[in-house]
Amino acid sequence: MAGVEAPRKGVCPQMQRYLRLVAGLVQAVLLLFANPALAAPTHIAAQLLVEGPALPGDEVTLAVRMRPEQGWHGYWQNPGDAGQGMTLKAWLGGSEQPLGALRYPVPETLLIAGLMNHVYEHEYAVLTSLRVPRQTPPGTILPLRVEAQWLACTDEICVPESGTLTAQITVGARGAPDGQFDKWRAALPAPLGAQARFASAGGRYRIGIPLPASVRLDAPHLFVSDASVVDYAAPQVFTRQGDLLVVELPPAKFAPVTPQTLSGVLRLSRTGDGVELTAVPGAVPAGGTPVAGGAAPVRPQGSFALLVAMALAGGLLLNVMPCVFPILSLKALSLARAGESEAQARAEGLAYTAGVVLACLGLGVLLLALRAAGEEVGWAFQLQEPLVVAALLLLAAAITANLLGVYEFSVPGFASEGSPQGAFATGLLAAFAATPCTGPFMAAAMGAALLLPAAQALALFAALGLGLALPFLALAYIPALRRRLPRPGAWMGRFRTIMAVPMGLTAIALVWLASRLAGSAFAFAACLLVIVMLSALVVLGRRQRHGLAGGWPVMLALAMVPVLGAIGLPGMVREASAAAAGILPTKPFSEAALAEARAKGAPVFVYMTADWCLTCKVNEAAAIEREDTAAAFKAAGVTVLRGDWTRRDPAITRYLTAQGAAGVPLYMWYPAGDAPPRQLPQVLTPAMLAQLAEGGD
């Protein structure tokens, strides 16, 4: 959750010790697991080429020539477990024209952390076609423009790339054959020329491919064109029965699709020879002589199990991160009651864990669905929406009033007699409030979750939730820990009142965040709704103390608060406020600004922040907005680029994704010259930036 900005001149000794501890943890993780991302405008160069003149009404062949940098790769039409193929849109002479099917060369296999990708790690060309309008006079030169989008990846990061490719089409008689296009056509898989068949038996697909026994097979592999049909990473079993080659594949592990036909490309050898086939349902005989298959190259990379462990550790550490402190007040009273009954404690522990895990999974599903729909969103995306912040403000104000004794209600975790339902609701709320944080261990796992297939990504979100719930779960199942908790008594009432302070500060911080997100008028209107709600709750509390029910006027007033908010608040949203000038001179972040700054040859410091990120604010007070940092940066000629992610910004989201980060804070240091950039820890120490500027890193 958001918090009040810390003083600029420094932090208290307790916070300094905390910063040093967490910074040491982050640095250890980075040294063990993190590889700095490479930053370049385009990692796969694209060029559009046209094959010779074409007569009116004829089709002309186009080629998009792709040249990956060393260590980078592009993707086949079906990228496999992760990745994205190419998309093209063409305009001829100012009007959009349909393109023919994209024809790819035979791809290569790339296995990383148990995930199979279909890639190209060398220069390749994607062919397509376009028909010249019949009414075009011969001799006309038509300008051609193609908008292309593709994904460029290394073994660690992926960068969405795009380009506007241009060429010209001359209308006229065909010229001599183009040898370069002939080479590209030769790299395409040849049509099989015979009907293949497939059948499903024993939980596996069997594909029968008519192929002469004389055809030599060297590391064969079947690339299936249809998504979510087969398990790409599973071993492929090849057998021969005379002139019939049989391939056995297991179905996809997650949400498998049952195909009516099955299309793909059979790689015959490591040199890239292959055939294109389409299989229809039919009988495929069993048995045959085994054919030796080739294994995909495995790259040194952290395993998926390691990512799960990092997500678990990240969730555990969220319990001590500053942005989670307010929600600890919700857990404290629940934990104090945990010793009443062992069975009750375990039931509450399981219910709380279920609430946390389900909340993390729900946010993960929504995040992945939005990204699949083309939205540029990242971790903590819900706090970029003003209406969500307004709803959280109402909730925080209601909980604060309950803690102060204004009214009595079964607010999650505060009933005098604990219940699994209350613990479950507390878990939901705790997870939702914790999601703005990206702490040690968690950053790499959540960054990977945005690029992995849905099944693996959701496993990481579930592991994050389990880590967040572990302390409560441990207390529920370990009696020795519960015995260390204070016994229930009169102190709980005083403690309840004290715990209203962090919740009240959270509400104040949400008012500030609302003003930053949507303007002062929006924040003022949200505060009016809070006043209406609190007035109704005061009346409710008075009636409760006299043994009366709430009454329909009070309940109607409470019900009208969210209705009025949903009707009136959306129209009051304004542009986000500009960042206030600080000690350190900054410029707004953009890819163009970064490229311009890098071209000057001086160091560049990029930091991504948000008004709702308390960790960001602590770093800014402790290490960024400091006189010594500003002086060191000025002496070294450092350009500072600040990315404000308070409101959704697609450019910043793409940059975060390119660096393998799921959210903020993110700090990147670009040394002078052409040296590769360095990703800094998520918790900065006071002297770190000054030392970097002085060359002391």
255 close to 228: Cβ distance less than 8 angstroms = yes
Q: What are 427-464's pLDDT values in tens digits?
A: 787 777 665 555 555 655 666 666 566 777 788 888 88
* Structural domain ending residue among the three candidates 186, 221, 245: 186
Position 569 in a domain: no
Q: Considering the chain, what percentage of its residues have pLDDT values greater than 90? A: 20
Give the per-residue pLDDT at 437.
57
Asked if 76 and 195 sit in the same domain, the reply is: no
Q: In which band, very low, low, confident or very high, does the pLDDT at 418 lie, cut at 50, 70 and 90?
A: low
pLDDT at 11 over 50: no
**Which of 291, 315, 345 represents a domain boundary (last residue)?**
291
Residues 102 and 238 in one domain: no
Establish if 320 belongs to a structural domain. yes
Look at residue 77 and tell me whether its pLDDT is greater than 90.
Answer: yes
Q: 424 in helix, strand or coil? A: helix
pLDDT in tens, 460-488: 888 888 888 888 888 778 878 777 766 66
Alpha carbons within 13 angstroms on the beta-carbon side of residue 602 total 16
CATH number of the domain enclosing 128: 2.60.40.1250
Q: Which residue has the higher pLDDT, 64 or 427?
A: 64
For residues 219 and 164, state if they share a domain: no
Least confident of 20-29, 259-268, 626-635: 20-29
Within a domain: residue 297?
A: no
Bigger pLDDT: 196 vs 204:
196
Mean pLDDT, residues 247-260 taken together = 83
The one-letter code for the residue type at 375 is E
Q: Taking CA 284 as the corner, what is the angle to CA 279 and CA 254, rounded to the nearest 5 degrees?
A: 65
* More confidently predicted of 442 and 560: 560
CA gap 617, 6 in Å, rounded: 7
In this predicted model, what pLDDT tens digit does every residue of 609-659 receive, in sequence order?
887 676 787 788 888 988 889 999 999 999 999 988 877 677 787 788 767
| Residue 538 within any structural domain of the chain | no
* Residues 414 and 347 both lie in one domain: yes
User: Same domain, yes or no, for 126 and 218?
Assistant: no
Q: Looking at the structure, do residues 358 and 251 belong to the same domain, yes or no?
A: no
332, 481: one domain? yes
Q: CATH code at 233?
A: 2.60.40
- Does one domain contain both 172 and 285? no
C-alpha span between 207 and 283 (Å, rounded): 9
Q: DSSP state, 104?
A: P
- Asked whether residue 217 is domain-assigned, the answer is yes
Q: What's the confidence (pLDDT) of residue 154?
A: 84
CATH of the domain at 584: 3.40.30.10
Among 461, 483, 500, the domain boundary falls at: 500
End-to-end Cα distance, the chain: 32
- Residue 226 to residues 252, 260, 363: CA-CA distances in angstroms? 11, 11, 28
The set of residues, in sequence order, having a beta carbon less than 8 Å from that of 557 and lying 6+ positions away, is 532, 533, 535, 536
Q: What range defines the domain where residue 318 resides?
A: 304-500
Q: In this predicted structure, what is the pLDDT of residue 649?
A: 74
Residues 387 and 486 in one domain: yes
Give the per-residue pLDDT at 691: 87
Instruction: Give yes or no: residues 137 and 25 share one domain.
Output: no
Instruction: Give the pLDDT score at 45.
Output: 94
Residue 66 is predicted with a pLDDT of 96
Give the bridge partners for 131, in sequence order.
Answer: 59
Question: Picking from 242-251, 400-409, 572-581, which range would have the lowest pLDDT averaged per residue?
Answer: 572-581
348 & 284 share domain: no
Please report whether residue 457 resides in a domain: yes
* pLDDT of amino acid 31: 40
Q: Is residue 574 part of a domain?
A: no
Sheet strands side by side (includes 95-97): 95-97, 87-92, 141-153, 158-170
Q: For residue 179, tell me if it sits in a domain.
A: yes
Number of domains present in the structure of the chain: 4
Residues 169 and 231 in one domain: no
Residue 648 pLDDT: 67
